[in-house]
Amino acid sequence: MRAVFDTNVFISALNFGGIPRELLLAADEEIFELLISKQIIAELRGILRVKFHFDVSRIESLEKFFISFCEVVEPQKRFKRIIENPSDNMILECAVEGKADYIVSGDKHILKVRKFHGIIIVSPSEFLQKISKI
């Protein structure tokens, strides 16, 4: 099973724990394959630095951690499916390029799409239920 996390799932995992952290640990334990793109990493870097005041060395350590167990995908196609927040399209692009089965997001703009190019879009709690059955 292959999945892409929206940046809000990574942020929640790192700062608040709960189900997003369980999912991140499950990916690290190779219960499923987690895909990430350079665009997602760049957005994470910016949010962690500006909004959560992480220092550069901590961000670099986290980036190395993610790359150690995530498959880095370089999307070739661009989509304009999500109008309300166009930067969210990078999640769809990563998922399509990486042939993901799932997109995991807490973002209502992404969740309301429900399915994109055969990829099922679910909340973190829905995805936890899916991987619990593996």
pTM metric for this prediction: 0.92
> Whole-angstrom Cα distance, residue 2 to residue 33?
5
pLDDT at 78 over 90: no
85-105: pLDDT as tens digits:
668 889 999 999 999 999 999
33-75: pLDDT as tens digits:
999 999 999 999 999 999 999 999 999 999 999 999 999 999 9
- DSSP code of residue 118: T
8 Å CB contact between 89 and 81: yes
Angle between helices 56-69 and 38-50 (to 10 degrees): 150
Instruction: Supply angle C-alpha 43, 46, 51, rounded to 5.
Output: 120
Q: Where are the domains of the chain?
A: 2-132
2-132, superfamily in CATH? Answer: 5'-nuclease (3.40.50.1010)
